Amino acid sequence: MNIALADRVRNLPPYLFDRIDKLKAEALRNNVDVIDLSIGDPDIPTPSHVVEALKRAAENPEHHRYPSYRGMASFRAEVSAWYKRRFNVDIDPEAETLSLIGSKEGVGHLPLAFVNPGEVVLCPCPGYPVYSIGTLFAQGEPYFMPLKEENDYFPDFSAIPQDILKRARLMFLNYPNNPTSASTSRDNFVKAIELAHKYDILICHDAAYTETYFDDKRPISFLEVEGAKEVAIELHSLSKTYNMTGWRIGFAVGNRELVQGLGKIKTNLDSGVFQAIQEAAIAALQTPDDQLAYIRNTYQDRRNCMYDGLRSLGLEVKRPEATFYLWAKVPANFNSESFSIHLLGKTGVLATPGNGFGVNGEGYIRFALTNGVDRIKEALERMRQVI
């Protein structure tokens, strides 16, 4: 029997982090002491009160059955309350909130709900690969908006051709930004909303990193901006904020038609989030800010160490105000991939090549702050010997 993949799968580019996993596994097989600074997977444990909430909820037989497709009413209410506390934005828990199996799932499924074959989706480049992959699954056409250092890594909307804008159905934005770690301004969000109204473009703002910020510079929500809720949905993840990457829970909020359209896809493709995890997520969203400040300060210490160290090695890198990434230019005699392979082969330090985030990531490499200061210092010392 000829078992052939469908064209939509066979023609996909290799998924970046799957490739990185394979490189890491090969190095470990060769007994290399790998310092993994590649994938944004927090090494800090999930807060203990969240784990305890899961334990209690898992013993409740009511949670052993199918969960609500949209998310428990209590979870959606807590999301609404958190939004009001954090951003002073009113969210209707009934119509404007939806639980997700992590924000990645929301990113991947949203084009299926709103993009017809041949319609254009505006994707940041460099950017999270799932923006374009979800578009391809929906038979849409990705158009890559370059994120350039001279524009503070925000798209130049005036450079997008008119025929593309007229065919565009959806635009992805992501601030604080992965992989560049750039933050952005309220004025830039206003420009995006104006563009959306002019060309009838829906906006999905991926806000997974709003709570990982430094120097008390708190990022805003896209939904804080006037007119945003008319055109936009915003996705959040508990993965980074509360060190819950493996728990797979997030949420979507915003325009009710967008939220409910995404919900229609989910009701046909999954059966919701285990309710015990939703109970734990409620506990997470109620975490006192001093505990979150401890997590942020831990990353800030690591950022300072990595930033100073990379600069001392002669690498060009901006000091990030948010996320737990540093986006550095590779030395002149390397490209992104060759420098990543060079570091792994010569030092055991694993970082993510920028071209894995799209063609505009070429010439850069991303370091994740997912090891302690001592290991970061060791990584920098190893790199010093080969740069």
- Asked if 153 contacts 364 with a C-beta cutoff of 8 angstroms, the reply is no
210 shares a domain with 87: yes
329 strand-pairing partners:
364
Number of domains present in the structure of the chain: 2
The answer to whether residue 54 sits within a structural domain is yes
- Is 237 part of any domain? yes
Residue 1 lies in a domain: no
Across residues 165-174, what is the average pLDDT?
Answer: 98
Of all residues in the chain, what percent carry a pLDDT higher than 70? 100
| The total number of residues written for the chain in this structure | 387
Question: Does the structure show a pLDDT above 90 at 302?
Answer: yes
Which is more confident, 60 or 1? Answer: 60
pLDDT of 7: 87
Please give the average per-residue pLDDT across 277-296, as a whole number: 96
Q: Report, as an integer, the average pLDDT of 218-238.
A: 98
Span 37-46, mean pLDDT? 95
Percent of the chain scoring above 90 in pLDDT:
93
Residues 6+ apart with CB under 8 A from 319: 303, 307
> What's the DSSP call for residue 138?
T
Task: Residue 143: give its domain's CATH number.
Answer: 3.40.640.10
Is residue 146 located within the same domain as residue 183? yes
Identify whether residues 54 and 40 lie together within a single domain. Answer: no
| Per-residue confidence (pLDDT) for residue 22, from 0 to 100 | 85
> What's 18's domain CATH number?
3.90.1150.10
Q: How confident is the model at residue 54 (pLDDT cuts 50, 70, 90)?
A: very high
- At 298 the pLDDT is 97
Q: Which amino acid is at 45?
A: P
- Residues 70-117: tens digit of each pLDDT: 999 999 999 999 999 999 999 999 999 999 999 999 999 999 999 999
pLDDT digits (tens, 9 = 90+) for 9-24: 887 877 767 777 888 8
Same domain? For 280 and 371 the reply is no
Whether the bond between 45 and the residue before it is cis, its omega within 30 degrees of 0, is: no
Q: What pLDDT band is residue 283 in, cutting at 50, 70 and 90?
A: very high
Q: Which one, of 265, 203, 262, 212, lies nearest residue 234 by Cα?
A: 203
Q: How far from the centroid of its chain's Cα atoms is residue 202's Cα?
A: 19
Q: How confident is the model at residue 209 (pLDDT cuts 50, 70, 90)?
A: very high
Tell me, yes or no, whether 263 lies in a domain. Answer: yes
Range of the domain at 28: 7-45+290-384
- Domain stop point among 285, 319, 335: 285
Ranges of beta strands (E only) in the chain are 35-36, 97-100, 120-125, 141-146, 168-174, 202-206, 232-237, 250-254, 325-329, 349-350, 352-353, 364-368
On whether both 83 and 178 belong to a single domain, the answer is yes
Q: Which of 266, 285, 304 is a domain's end point?
A: 285
- pLDDT tens track for 259-279: 999 999 999 999 999 999 999
Residue 124 lies in a domain: yes
pTM over 0.85, yes/no: yes
Query: What is the mean predicted confidence (pLDDT) over 51-63?
Result: 98
What is residue 9's predicted lDDT score, i.e. its pLDDT?
86
Close Cβ partners of 230 (under 8 Å, ≥ 6 residues apart): 193, 197, 255
Same domain, 224 and 302: no
143 vs 125: CA distance, rounded Å: 9
Where is the domain boundary, 238, 261, 285?
285
From the number of C-beta atoms within 10 Å of its C-beta (0-12, 13-18, 19+), residue 245 rates as middle
Same domain, 58 and 167: yes
Q: What burial class does residue 207 get, using C-beta atoms within 10 Å of its C-beta: 0-12 exposed, 13-18 middle, 19+ buried?
A: buried
Burial of 112 (0-12, 13-18, 19+ CB in 10 A): buried
> What's the confidence (pLDDT) of residue 358?
95
Q: What is the rounded average pLDDT for all residues in the chain?
A: 96
Please check whether residues 69 and 186 belong to one and the same domain: yes
* pLDDT recorded at residue 12: 80
